[in-house]
Structure 1
Amino acid sequence: MLPWRMAVVGLFYFCIRAGVTQYGTQALFPSVSKMKRGATSVVRPSFHHSIADVHLLFEILLTGIHFEASGEFSVQDAELASLRKTRNLELICEEVVPKKLSEVFRLIAGLSRRTGRLHQEDFERTLLTLVYTAQGMVNSSSEHQRSMWADSFVSLYKFIKQDLTE
């Protein structure tokens, strides 16, 4: 009788844990659920699926990317910008990455409540948000805004560093 109870309790715990994990992932980037369905067939867009994709992302970041004030994303290198994978990165940067300071601070609050390692998609999106905050810091017009962007950059950097060193 006791093993059956243990199995039921274990199954119940597993279901709750899976639900909490899924909820936590969606809460970090709520814009994923609000994405335009016609834009892509991917429900949870992610840029990298292999080590070659990671190298491509690194190359794209090294050659230079730019976020327009309107929220549009562009890659400086024309050859890299023409790749199909870059269009997927463009979708993530334009639709998923938070663009307002309030959204970035909401992400930081969500990361501070989180335990354990980030999922691949969340790590990637947090890294791209870090890149966006760096550009926001450089493009700020006032010292107060620059300070706010800098604070968010430092916080995101600490979460990424913590996730890498766990």
Structure 2
Amino acid sequence: LSDINLQIRFQNGVPAVADESMSEWMKYVYMQFEKPDTIGVDVKLEAIDPDGKEVEIGIAKTDASGNYGYSWKPDIEGPWTITATFLGSGGYYSSTSTTYITVDPAPETLSAEEIAANVISQLPEYPEQPAYLTIDIVILLLAVVGIVVGLVVYFAVKKQ
């Protein structure tokens, strides 16, 4: 990008869009029109597995920022080389990018019994129930209050 304004607006470069979105997209990029709804471009994802075998992962479509994502589950563990390729279009040359990942072994699966035992072992041990429950104490206090009120009334009536 040679224009400083474009460099400020598109710090990672101007994202590629599908040919059918190109006209409105260029108005947005160069004439500062409102950002249009755009259709992204297809990115072909391929890999080389740890055994050196080529694997076709799939096709992802970019968003308006030029980003893409793809959900995929590798079939073996070890180091993988992943290549993303944009084949080009009427308005853009092709491009390629490569990244590297390592697939670790899956964690050991536990049986339902092992999970239950693990959860139970993490629960706190509760102390024994007290001899007096809360409701017992409330009933006892109400009885004491009733007796005190009864005695006060009795002595008040007796004095008269």
Indicate the TM-score class for this superposition, using the shorter chain for normalisation. under 0.3
Is the helix fraction higher in 1 or 2?
A: 1
Q: Taking structure 1 as the reference length, what is the TM-score of the superposition?
A: 0.19
Of structures 1 and 2, the one with the larger relative CO (CA 8 A, separation 6+) is: 1
Going by fraction, where is strand more abundant, 1 or 2? 2
Q: TM-score, normalised by structure 2?
A: 0.20
Who wins on radius of gyration, i.e. which is larger? 2
